[in-house]
């Protein structure tokens, strides 16, 4: 280990471990954070239809769910699209609209946690603090406030009094326009009540939340029979996701059979029961794919480590041929020669991993500080421009399982890299080495 090349090998392994540790921690953190936000947005399970018409008898099914011992919270939702016109403005824009009961929805999902002004009084989410009697709306934060370069929002101590006219196209249960000949649309003015910061870029830029009843009315889903688009469900903490979803699916199948002969029962056919993972798969899968690709890239880094250690061991063994001959002449066995060089490779892997881990750990602990310093000093945000990306802080929570895998992989890579040179060393015949050395 006193040879300089051994230090290079340790440094190379340390560098590989450092890079993999830091990037995997950040990447794993991002994926974990993204999954957590999606879970928080959806709840554990969702009974929903993609049709804007929605489905009937949702209240009956909610009652059944509320009676189940494994269910903690249930919340129906209206999901549609709305044309939004700020009061006094000429222009309008389209948004996704969600009608919810804020108290129920905060039990079934993490909606309450995303609020700012009404965080501690979720039931009044749609009651503006300046006039609780006005119909209020909650809007995705990126639609309302401009995020600063540090990822912070310029919240006002009291919400402003801006109002929006929300326009929807009400649909009949058959999917036809409900107000043909009567202007086609339903419009109502709502007043800003709060912002919702879900951390999901798409939701925070394009979502407006209204009270369930108002949204149902705007979409024409309150008559002649009440309809909703989704039921969000939260399970009790000890209930496994798959098992809970299976039980809900079973309940839904029975419920659907019971209602088969009732009016609009065909709408129930389009309803699916999904876990939050399946429901949000479209969004999560892309990120998971990135993580998989990153892992593949790091396998290539691992192969590079194997090659580096192979070259180093090969060079050392080439330089140490004479010593191997000497050791064999005093009775060291082939197995011990192999062990000796495997020990060297293990030491390279172990020291490299230790240095890389300590370095990576320190870097991760200070990563947000470093980024802040770079921005303060040079206005440089190397990873994500916070005015564009919905990422508050660079994730730096150490995942010990990932770290363990990285360290073990690095040591295994070193041992793999040393395998062929070790075999070569063990197979050397002392008499040939010592004779050649003498020459």
Partner 1 sequence: MNKGDFILKAEGIYKSYRMGATDVKVLKGVDLDVKEGEYVAIVGASGSGKSTLLHILGALDRPDKGAVAFNGRDLSRYGGSELNRFRNKMVGFVFQFYHLLDELNVLENVYLPTMVLRGVFGWISCRRKAEKRALELLEQLGLGERANHKPYQLSGGERQRVAIGRALMNEPGILLADEPTGNLDSATGNGILKVFEELNQAGQTIVMVSHDERVAHRAGRIVTLTDGKIRRT
Q: Which residue has the tokens 């919340």?
A: 75
Alpha helical stretches, state H, 120-240? 141-144, 201-206, 212-218
Least distance (Å) between residue 392 CB and partner 1: 53
Least distance (Å) between residue 2 CB and partner 1: 6
Residues making contact with partner 1 (CB under 8 A):
2, 322-323, 325-334, 336, 429-431, 434-435, 437-438
Task: Retrieve residue 68's tokens.
Answer: 């189940």
Least distance (Å) between residue 432 CB and partner 1: 9
Nearer to partner 1, 329 or 362 (CB): 329
Nearer to partner 1, 265 or 327 (CB): 327
Q: How far is CA 103 from each of CA 75, 100, 121, 212, rounded to the nearest angstrom? A: 9, 9, 9, 11
Contact 196, 141 (CB under 8 A): yes
Rounded Cα distance between 206 and 43, Å, is 20
Quick check: helix, strand or coil at residue 236? coil
Nearer to partner 1, 397 or 435 (CB): 435
Nearer to partner 1, 83 or 339 (CB): 339
Least distance (Å) between residue 430 CB and partner 1: 5
Contact 139, 158 (CB under 8 A): no
Calculate Rg over the CA atoms of the chain. Answer: 31
Q: Are strands 71-86 and 55-56 parallel, antiparallel or unpaired?
A: unpaired
Nearer to partner 1, 157 or 438 (CB): 438
The DSSP letter of residue 264 is T
Q: Which residues pair with 55 in a beta bridge?
A: 228
Rounded Cα distance between 149 and 137, Å, is 27
Least distance (Å) between residue 344 CB and partner 1: 12
Q: Which residue has the tokens 């010592």?
A: 434
Least distance (Å) between residue 309 CB and partner 1: 20
Nearer to partner 1, 115 or 337 (CB): 337
Least distance (Å) between residue 394 CB and partner 1: 45
Q: Which residues pair with 98 in a beta bridge?
A: 79, 209
Degrees to nearest 5, angle at CA 95 with 90 and 96? 160
Nearer to partner 1, 318 or 437 (CB): 437
Least distance (Å) between residue 429 CB and partner 1: 8
Nearer to partner 1, 358 or 434 (CB): 434
The DSSP letter of residue 171 is B
Rounded Cα distance between 226 and 123, Å, is 22
């Amino acid at each position: 280990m006193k040879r300089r090349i051994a230090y290079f090998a340790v440094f190379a392994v340390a560098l590989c471990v450092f890079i993999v540790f830091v990037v995997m921690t950040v990447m794993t953190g991002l994926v974990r954070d993204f999954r957590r936000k999606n879970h928080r947005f959806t709840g554990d399970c969702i009974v929903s239809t993609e049709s804007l018409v929605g489905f009937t008898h949702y209240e009956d099914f909610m009652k059944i769910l509320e009676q189940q011992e494994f269910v903690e919270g249930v919340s129906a939702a209206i999901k549609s699209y709305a044309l939004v016109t700020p009061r006094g403005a000429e222009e309008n824009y389209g948004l996704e609209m969600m009608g919810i009961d804020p108290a129920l929805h905060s039990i079934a999902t993490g909606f309450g946690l995303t609020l700012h002004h009404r965080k501690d009084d979720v039931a009044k989410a749609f009651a503006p603090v300046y006039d609780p009697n006005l119909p209020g709306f909650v809007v995705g934060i990126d639609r309302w406030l401009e995020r600063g370069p540090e990822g912070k929002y310029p919240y006002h101590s009291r919400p402003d009094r801006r109002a929006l006219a929300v326009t929807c196209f009400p649909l009949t249960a058959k999917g036809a326009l409900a107000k043909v000949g009567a202007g086609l649309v339903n419009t109502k003015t709502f007043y800003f009540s709060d912002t919702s910061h879900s951390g999901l870029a798409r939701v925070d830029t394009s979502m407006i939340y209204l009270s369930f009843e108002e949204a149902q009315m705007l979409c024409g889903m309150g008559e002649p029979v009440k309809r909703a688009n989704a039921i969000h469900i939260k399970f009790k903490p000890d209930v496994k996701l798959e098992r809970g979803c299976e039980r809900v699916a079973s309940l839904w199948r029975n419920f659907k059979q019971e209602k088969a002969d009732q009016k609009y029962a065909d709408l129930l056919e389009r309803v699916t029961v999904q876990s939050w993972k399946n429901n949000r798969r479209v969004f999560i899968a892309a990120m998971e794919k990135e993580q998989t690709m990153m892992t593949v890239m790091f396998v290539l880094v691992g192969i590079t480590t194997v090659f580096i250690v192979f070259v180093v061991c090969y060079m050392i063994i080439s330089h140490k041929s004479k010593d191997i001959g000497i050791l064999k002449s005093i009775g060291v066995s082939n197995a011990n020669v192999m062990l000796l060089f495997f020990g060297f490779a293990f030491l390279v892997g172990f020291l490299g991993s230790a240095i890389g881990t300590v370095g990576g750990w320190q870097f991760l602990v200070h990563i947000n500080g470093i980024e802040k310093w770079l921005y303060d000093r040079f206005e440089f945000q190397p990873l994500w421009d916070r005015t564009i990306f919905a990422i508050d802080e660079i994730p730096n929570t150490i995942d010990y399982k990932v770290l363990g895998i990285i360290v073990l992989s690095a040591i295994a890579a070193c041992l793999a890299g040393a395998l062929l040179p070790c075999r070569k060393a063990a197979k050397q015949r002392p008499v040939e080495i010592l004779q050649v050395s003498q020459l």
